[in-house]
Amino acid sequence: MTSRQPKTKKAAKRTATHRDGKTGIGFIGAGNMATALVKGLIDTGLYAPQRIFASDVDAKQRNRIKRRFNISVTPDNGEVLNHATIIVLAVKPQTMEDVLAALRGAVTPNHLFISIVAGITTARIENGLGVRARVLRVMPNTPALLGKGMSVLVRGMYATAADEKLGLKLFGAVGDAVAAPDERMLDAVTGLSGSGPAYVYRFAEAMLAGGIAAGLPGPMARQLTIQTLVGAAAMLKETGEPPETLRAKVSSPGGTTLAGLSELEHRGFKEAVAEAVIAATRRAQELGRGSR
Mean pLDDT, residues 95-113:
93
Q: Mark whether 107 and 214 lie in a shared domain.
A: no
Q: Mark whether 14 and 100 lie in a shared domain.
A: yes
Q: Mark whether 70 and 204 lie in a shared domain.
A: no
Q: Mark whether 50 and 175 lie in a shared domain.
A: yes
CB distance 135 to 156 below 8 Å? yes
Q: Which of 288, 280, 292, 5 is nearest to 125 (CA)?
A: 288
Query: What pairs with residue 28 in β-bridges?
Result: 55, 89
Q: Mark whether 219 and 156 lie in a shared domain.
A: no
- For CA atoms 155, 159, 164, 166, the dihedral sign is negative
Separation between Cα atoms, residue 52 and residue 166, nearest integer Å: 16
Q: How many domains does the chain have?
A: 2
Q: Mark whether 126 and 200 lie in a shared domain.
A: no
Mean pLDDT, residues 251-277:
96
Looking up residue 234, the CATH number of its domain turns out to be 1.10.3730.10
The average confidence (pLDDT) of the chain is 90
Residue 4 lies in a domain: no
Mean pLDDT, residues 163-182:
96
| pLDDT for 18 | 41
Segments forming the whole domain that contains residue 210? 196-288
| pLDDT for 19 | 40
Mean pLDDT, residues 44-49:
94
Q: Mark whether 84 and 206 lie in a shared domain.
A: no
Q: Mark whether 217 and 99 lie in a shared domain.
A: no
Does residue 12 register a pLDDT over 70?
no
Looking up residue 113, the CATH number of its domain turns out to be 3.40.50.720
Buried b (16+ CB within 10 A) or exposed e, 26-38: bbbbbbebbbbbb
Residue 191 lies in a domain: no
Q: Which of 197, 194, 139 is nearest to 171 (CA)?
A: 139
Residue 41 lies in a domain: yes
151 Cβ contact list (under 8 Å, min separation 6): 138, 139, 140, 141, 144, 171, 174, 175, 176, 177, 178
Mean pLDDT, residues 17-46:
83
Separation between Cα atoms, residue 211 and residue 209, nearest integer Å: 5
Residue 171 lies in a domain: yes
Q: Which of 165, 162, 111, 166 is nearest to 135 (CA)?
A: 111
Query: What pairs with residue 114 in β-bridges?
Result: 88, 136
Residue 15 lies in a domain: yes
Residue 3 lies in a domain: no
Residue 31 lies in a domain: yes
Does residue 263 register a pLDDT over 50?
yes
Mean pLDDT, residues 226-243:
97
E strands, the chain, are: 25-28, 52-55, 72-74, 86-89, 112-115, 134-139, 149-155, 175-179
Select from 180, 204, 230 the last residue of a domain: 180
Residue 73 lies in a domain: yes
CB distance 189 to 180 below 8 Å? yes
Q: Mark whether 164 and 228 lie in a shared domain.
A: no
Does residue 253 register a pLDDT over 50?
yes
Q: Mark whether 78 and 156 lie in a shared domain.
A: yes
Q: Mark whether 168 and 206 lie in a shared domain.
A: no
Q: Mark whether 110 and 237 lie in a shared domain.
A: no
